[in-house]
Amino acid sequence: MLKETIDNLNYGLAAFGIQIPTGLNLDERLATLAERPATNAAIVVVAGGLLMYHFESGRNPRIKDIYDAILYCATSLSVGYAESHPVTPAGKLLASVLQTYGPALAAKTLDGPAGEGRTALSGVLRTLVSKMETEAMTPA
């Protein structure tokens, strides 16, 4: 199913000269974003801004400089919406990716690296479950 989806995407993206590598495991790649969420969010904002500026400069009157493009990406990442809108096909493709995955990435930004603090939380949950089970077994 995933291979068929990637093949369909590659067919559509061929018009832009873009191809998704066949060995790319999207689930695995997206899971690695949780390892350093703040750093990865910053990288996505800057890289997305550079790409958006490349795609939209000279074609979109609302993207006048690199700062407008970075602001567009940061806003799309945080709320999934921005006041300016891309006009080029490549800009629209980038915007759809940013607005689809961006809010989830932004929500994890302040959580810290994956796994950090989760062991303490799971210990607390285990203790609570244990106490609840003990109370449930105790006659009233």
pLDDT at 87: 95
d(CA 118, CA 74): 28
> Looking at the domain assignment, is residue 75 inside a domain?
yes
Tokens 């490549």 — which residue? Answer: 90
- pLDDT tens by residue, 64-123: 999 999 999 999 888 877 788 999 999 999 999 888 888 888 887 777 665 555 555 667
> Looking at the domain assignment, is residue 118 inside a domain?
no
> Looking at the domain assignment, is residue 12 inside a domain?
no
pLDDT at 134: 80
pTM over the 0.85 mark: no
The yes-or-no verdict on residue 8 having pLDDT over 90 is: no
Angle CA 135–138–140, to nearest 5:
100
> Looking at the domain assignment, is residue 95 inside a domain?
yes
pLDDT at 22: 67
CATH number at residue 61: 1.10.287.70
- pLDDT tens by residue, 22-41: 666 767 766 676 677 788 88
Determine the structural domain holding residue 74 and report its residue range.
34-113
The yes-or-no verdict on residue 139 having pLDDT over 80 is: no
d(CA 37, CA 106): 8
> Looking at the domain assignment, is residue 54 inside a domain?
yes
pLDDT at 116: 54
pLDDT at 56: 94
d(CA 64, CA 106): 25
> Looking at the domain assignment, is residue 9 inside a domain?
no
Q: How many domains does the chain have?
A: 1
d(CA 58, CA 28): 36
Q: Which residues contact 110 (CB under 8 A, 6 or more apart)?
A: 37, 38
